[in-house]
Structure 1
């Protein structure tokens, strides 16, 4: 049987990370670093990104808003300064081998979240390469003092 897991990483989250498994019981499994971690049991629905070349693909996650854990985490992340994006990691585990994920983990950046009284909907996608600036390095007088004299 294949178990799907989600991990949300952000400094404002309790312990910096929230981990969930789509199952009725908690899961202890290994991650890429070799560390064994606990995924909390939860019921959520998700739609994996398509594998095509049509543009920006997204992972959509919908979870019930029963214990308000995700709601509090999202609100804490929105208030966090400096502004840091929430990273979402999707992994699949085979119940026969929990020492590590069965495939490479999918790392996405959370782009939006919608909270209602009944559910939390989160959309994550790969980094937006289309709107990225050309020169990633910013030259300032602090990092390059010679610019003062130009």
Structure 2
């Protein structure tokens, strides 16, 4: 299968002026990530200093407000596209700090999916992401020293309901049974 987004992605990247920085961010969500008994996300920006970015309305955590992202080095391969397989890619997070490791260790003992949200922000407008959020599930996670690596993929697309939207009379009053 051909990667359909290559030309559009290249055009979007080229339209951003060279003088404007683009920040890649990831947010890790897991039920085992708790602080004072309440669930929290782990937010990272691929940069050398902490950054504050606006979170889009409708987000699970801090919707419509600003949140601080911790600087950390991470990378992701371009997703592979092949017939009858869900697109997936390898995600590597380097130099995972000691304060993050307890959360990852807690996630090992808890049977749930580790969600990864990818967002991009432009330096000239950090009120909301310019790209994303794109939600992935991180599986086959390994920790070696201070590096965390895993395989990110969309949820199982073959078993998703389609169409996903449920039309009801409450929302669409003109529907007649």
| Same fold, TM-score > 0.5, yes or no | yes
Note the 1:1-150 alignment, pairs <5 A: 1-15=21-35, 16-33=40-57, 34-50=64-80, 52=81, 54=83, 55-80=85-110, 83-130=111-158, 132=159
Q: Give the TM-score normalised by the residue count of structure 2.
A: 0.65
Q: Partners in 1 of 2:141 and 2:22 — Cα distance?
A: 27
State the Cα RMSD in Å: 2.2
Q: Please tell me whether the aligned partners of residues 73 and 94 of structure 2 are also in contact (alpha carbons under 8 angstroms).
A: yes
Q: Secondary structure at the match of 2:102?
A: helix
- The structural deviation recorded for 1:48 is 4.0
Q: Give the TM-score normalised by the residue count of structure 1.
A: 0.75
Aligned residues: 130
Moved more, 120-129 or 16-25: 120-129
Q: Partners in 2 of 1:72 and 1:58 — Cα distance?
A: 27
- The structural deviation recorded for 1:4 is 0.1
- The structural deviation recorded for 1:118 is 4.3
Change (3 A) 1:114 1:100: same
What do residues 48-94 of structure 1 show as CA deviations (whole Å, max 9, x unaligned)? 435x46322224221224523444322211212xx221110000000
The structure, 1 or 2, with the larger RCO (C-alpha pairs under 8 Å, 6+ apart) is: 1
Instruction: Please list every run of at least 4 consecutive aligned residues from structure 1 whose deviation after the TM superposition is greater than 3 angstroms.
Output: 68-71
Q: Secondary structure at the match of 1:49?
A: coil
Q: Partners in 2 of 1:63 and 1:104 — Cα distance?
A: 19
Change (3 A) 1:72 1:133: same
